[in-house]
Amino acid sequence: MKNYAIDYHLDLRGEPCPYPAIKGLEALQQLKKGEILQILSDCPQSIHNIPIDAKNYGYDVLEILQDGVDLCYIIQRNF
């Protein structure tokens, strides 16, 4: 992982889909321009939902990391 200045962390491990995508988008809407959110999830479907939803709403997906079943999304608001 690159050295990002993470502003907010959202740990959604244990939450079944579609909750990680829904709660992630809700949290992203609270960010100010330039802020970065880290979302943690272990829901396998989130690899499809979270990045696509974030991009569709105009957020920048900076990085997606996987460690076993854990997925980490680093997303920035640039608007």
In order of their start, the domains of the chain are 8-76 (3.30.110.40)
For residue 72, indicate whether it is catalytic.
no
Q: pLDDT for 48-79, tens place per residue? A: 999 999 999 999 999 999 999 999 999 999 99
Place of tokens 């920048």: 60
Amino acid at 72: C
Rg (Cα) of the chain, in Å, rounded? 11
Rounded Cα distance between 69 and 25, Å, is 21
At 4, list the tokens.
């990002």
Report the predicted TM-score, pTM, of the whole model to 2 decimal places: 0.94
Position 19 pLDDT exceeds 90: yes
Question: Which residue matches tokens 């939803």?
Answer: 53
From the candidates 10, 17, 22, 27, which is the catalytic residue?
Answer: 17
For Cα atoms 28, 33, 70, give the angle at the middle one, nearest 5 degrees: 35
Strand partners, 76: 36, 60
